[in-house]
Amino acid sequence: MSLNMFSLEGKTAVVTGANTGLGQGICVAYAQAGANVIGVARRSCQETADKIAAFSGNFTEVIADLSDVSLIPHIVEEAGKAYGRVDILVNNAGIIKRCDAADVTMEDWDSVININEKMVFFLSQAFAKTWLADGKGGKIINIASMLSYQGGIRVPAYTASKSAVMGVTKAMANEWAGHNINVNAIAPGYMATNNTENLRKDGQRSEEILSRIPAGRWGTPEDIAGAAIFLASDAAAYVHGFTLAVDGGWLAR
Ligand code: NAP
């Protein structure tokens, strides 16, 4: 067996939410593994670009608000212009709104579902159409959550969206696996990013969470690099529809 099967040399990856957190970590990991990386974000990805430039990797950004599905053709077109054919899509961008279930507004519900669920499916569909047309396959990696498995507290729209991500990952895999398109997901545990900033500031919740993580610490963007590279690589050729938890053991409890 050769470790070359994990290489992303010569491949091109699109990563949404590339300016910070887990998306930035995945961009850097992919570039280190040899991929050309296209970061999609609603603001500049300069910090990500600088990290990748430090080791002379390839990175280009496409600015787009991922709450707007009408921008999908623009994203696909701009991504195609950067390095030629796109081989890998990581649907990472996502939002969370914390609120008692009794007080959740329909506006907040729709904004979470639009980005975390609707965009994930339709951006995947758009890239998959290009792969179905040229017959050369591709890889889709969706970022799910512990709340793809559990209910969570004060985040019902987020739980709905991330449960849907795990379900639609399987649904897409069932239709496209025969076309050499691998659709899988990563379910990060509790990671120290902007997404969990308020949670980590809440002394009691932070303590409850930390004491339940067998690894005894919050995760970092570097912690999901290995899973993200694996699922994007030839090594995952026969892996379809699975959600891989990278959670410090959270689900094992
Ligand atoms: P983060 O730092 O808040 O990153 C979220 C990313 O999504 C940011 O790049 C953000 O851009 C982008 N985004 C949000 N709304 C957008 C929009 N309308 N248009 C374009 N980009 C938008 O948090 P993170 O932890 O890295 O989150 C990445 C993914 O991991 C999310 O799907 C999240 O649900 C998931 N996740 C995180 C954890 C965790 O513990 N941190 C656990 C499980 C799953 P801006 O910077 O412009 O807002």
pLDDT (tens digit per residue) in 179-223: 999 999 999 999 999 989 988 999 998 999 999 999 999 999 999
Answer yes or no: is the C-beta of 92 below 6 A from any ligand 1 atom: yes
Residue 21 alpha carbon, nearest atom of ligand 1: 26
Phi, psi of 190 (to 5 degrees): -90, 110
Answer yes or no: is the C-beta of 121 below 6 A from any ligand 1 atom: no
CB 43 within 8 A of CB 114: no
Answer yes or no: is the C-beta of 42 below 6 A from any ligand 1 atom: yes
Answer yes or no: is the C-beta of 38 below 6 A from any ligand 1 atom: no
With 0-12 CB in 10 A as exposed, 13-18 as middle and 19+ as buried, what is 154? middle
- Overall pTM surpassing 0.95 (yes/no): yes
Residue 42 alpha carbon, nearest atom of ligand 1: 20
37-80 pLDDT, tens digit each: 999 999 999 999 999 999 999 999 999 999 999 999 999 999 99
How many angstroms is it from 2 CA to the middle of ligand 1?
A: 34
Q: Can you read off the two tokens belonging to residue 115? A: 């980005």
